[in-house]
A and B are shown apart, each in its own frame.
Chain A
């Protein structure tokens, strides 16, 4: 997934859409918005980012999960199998992006890239709802996909690359 920080207005629509799509209980979230401001009045810069699980290629959460509940699924999407999760929270501690939370029902929950929608050929809920169309989702292995195209054209960054997790969330800057 690629997210255009130049277009994001930080409205948090992605957060609400995810909550209603995935029955995320109020008070928790699978995605969230970060605002970074730099400079002194009036020389200022601002970056807005919609963040979520980075679906890392080298995921510490998958590695540290004692039951195998955290795993790689179709297309490299990192998932948690609810009924295999014992809620030990080792994954939460290991994740440098703080992308996971403990669901009130006792298991660890996080972004699934809306795999249930993607399988039907739909976009993840956050991508589909975004009023600024700042998110691009697709197959990074397919050089012709929209997300690959946009990454070819634009400058981008990943978050905390030094953690070595090979994150799959790209921020266009």
Chain B
């Protein structure tokens, strides 16, 4: 058991450093009080100001509270918000740290040295916009407007998107697709004619059996889902967790299946085998709604639990027992599709297997399975038509990945690296709120693409690694200092939420709306920004749905009525699915048309060489990707990652707890920094585990610099999903090193 002092030692800086740090922060605030009165006053005379959180994509709505001096004190969840039910997660509660972080970007910067060296001069906004506009116009003249792209992950994306579309390009990508949830969307679209989207339409609240495959709910703090899972635990719901690591939720599960990594499809096929052969599937549902059952039945015959045992190391009896658990709970069962699912390059097929299993159990469209979500339809002000681009990033893909329903960030990156086959390589990037260096796997490739650019503009609140490569850095104010477009979430009930500034922006920082509009002025694209201020636009939109800015400023969140009473399928209801056959496609005609296997096929993936261990990465509940690694409140909880090592492995390498080591991967890449060893039974002997988002290499992030290892740096082998271009990242193997010297050549 850890005492409190040990906990502090493990999860924070040294005690002395901490006291010092706390003191500094106060001095900082005192100075602000003296030097910048507007920081405290501002025009916003609200005891509490509505916002929705920007620390992760769940976008929980809450209230920002200030103290008697007008200083931001705390953020509390909005009771009326279905995404959070009045309870923020640690990252949302610690969101105040984004505002108080002294390392924030403070003023526009223009690069003065080669890309990658953090050498900048401060610039005025006007200078920065002139610089960007002249470069963009030059790209347009020389290569065409299509040779520009936007990467975005964050609320300001809409406005930069309109700017780019107005300019004449539709290369707009978010790494949340090809690097994260893309395969799941494609698989569920192919099966049910409908994606999962966000927040997930999993009816955990009412489920009787929750099956998690590599999904570590509770460590990934997807707030609403964690809350519902906790309620489900209270009600005695059966949880089945499949994970090579004893995750937090594995510790709360009735069945933990410690699977050999990369073999999940074999397990899923054997579950289908048991459920079909023992006639445990929902016969009425399968007959009425699905296509291809007989073919599926024939297909899964070889995949017995005994067959799967040899592959997955999961005992046949355990496979049967868990299949029975699911069938007993059906249709109130969820084989959870997960969220970050780009693992081995056959991810769409693995998620197809998940979808098929759900279909056999009859859980799609049923209480306790998957509900039919609804999103508020808030009209947008009609903009003039965007020019039609003549080409885009897909041209560089050679006709591949047609089933990708959104742009691939990795595809845009690929289309930026010049090659003789391509008519156009992309010459200009705007990167909004996503640290591509730590987001896209294969850093060498990302940097090669960046070096081929004529223009790289980065919009961020923090000096993330990507800003070090930018020609122009535009400092955005944090979400606590700005309006953004309305949050329009899907859910059981459609909802809208407002974000408004609680305080004036610190430093010389600005919101995305203002930046995009000012750039539009320079580029002669003001017709795509008909409203002078974002408040006017939001107010116009709200009035279309019977609300107003004034009302939302008071209530923060508004629930709208569902248009139809169709949360679940009715008894014997006829349902038309948006697939080729109009049915739930167990046998996928869409995949077959594109030349892919209509049923998921298990393939063996490479295994680590002797002395190497599969690198598995995941989340910690107090951090979001790499974006929170410098947040003072959240680094206080966890300021570095550690590498989890099984005691057997530690013995072989003579590793001690808390010892620091370097890692080297199968391609000879040695980590920039050291990582702390955590010896624990919670990880298999053939794998190591670390939390994603650490090992920051930019010195301007003083709390995060050099803390732990970046898993992204170790991910150089990328297994591309042939169906939709997802970047599988779990095929990397690392070994331990006690120094970081490169081998002599």
Contacts and interface: CB of A to CB of B under 8 A. Distances in A.
Interface of A: 6-7, 9-13, 15-17, 19-21, 23, 25-29, 32-37, 39-42, 44-46, 48, 51, 97-99, 104, 128-134
A17 B74 CA distance: 8
A16 B17 CA distance: 19
Name the interface size band of chain B. 35 or more
B89 A11 contact: yes
B37 interface: no
Contacts of B303: none
B150 interface: no
Contacts of A19: 633, 636
A55 to B, nearest CB: 16
Given A44-B251, A44-B682, 4 more contacts: A9-B621, A21-B74, A27-B636, A42-B246
Chief secondary structure at chain B's binding surface:
mixed
B246 A26 contact: no
Contacts of A133: 87, 227, 230-231
Interface in B1-60: 1-5, 7-8, 12-13, 15, 17-19, 21-23, 25-26
27 contacts: A6-B233, A7-B234, A9-B226, A13-B89, A16-B634, A17-B74, A20-B73, A26-B22, A27-B15, A28-B22, A29-B8, A32-B7, A32-B8, A33-B7, A34-B2, A34-B7, A36-B1, A37-B681, A41-B683, A45-B251, A98-B4, A98-B5, A104-B22, A104-B23, A131-B221, A132-B226, A132-B230
Contacts of B304: none
A170 B218 CA distance: 22
Contacts of B234: 7
Interface in B75-92: 75-77, 84, 86-90
A131 B74 contact: no
A36 B2 CA distance: 8
Contacts of B96: 20
Interface of B: 1-5, 7-8, 12-13, 15, 17-19, 21-23, 25-26, 73-77, 84, 86-90, 93-94, 96, 218-219, 221, 223, 226-227, 229-231, 233-234, 246, 248-252, 256, 258, 621-622, 632-634, 636-638, 646, 680-685
Given A42-B258, A51-B4, A10 B621 contact: yes
Contact of A26 (B21, B89, B621): B21
Nearest to B24: A26
Nearest to A44: B246
A41 B89 contact: no
**Residue among B88, B90, B233 with max Cβ neighbours from chain A (10 Å):** B90
Contact of B19 (A37, A104, A131): A104
Nearest to B77: A129
Given A20-B74, A20-B633, A132 B227 contact: yes
Contact of A44 (B1, B17, B636, B681): B681
B93 A129 contact: yes
B2 A11 contact: no
A16 B3 contact: no
Nearest to A20: B74
Contact of B258 (A10, A16, A23, A41): A41
A65 to B, nearest CB: 20
A123 to B, nearest CB: 11
A139 B633 CA distance: 32
A102 B384 CA distance: 63
B18 A131 contact: no
Given A37-B682, A41-B681, A129-B77, A26 B15 contact: no
Contact of A131 (B12, B25, B226, B249): B226
Q: Which 9 A-B pairs have the closest CB atoms?
A: A27-B18, A9-B218, A11-B621, A46-B251, A25-B22, A132-B230, A20-B74, A13-B90, A98-B4
Given A6-B252, A41-B246, A11 B18 contact: no
Contacts of B249: 9
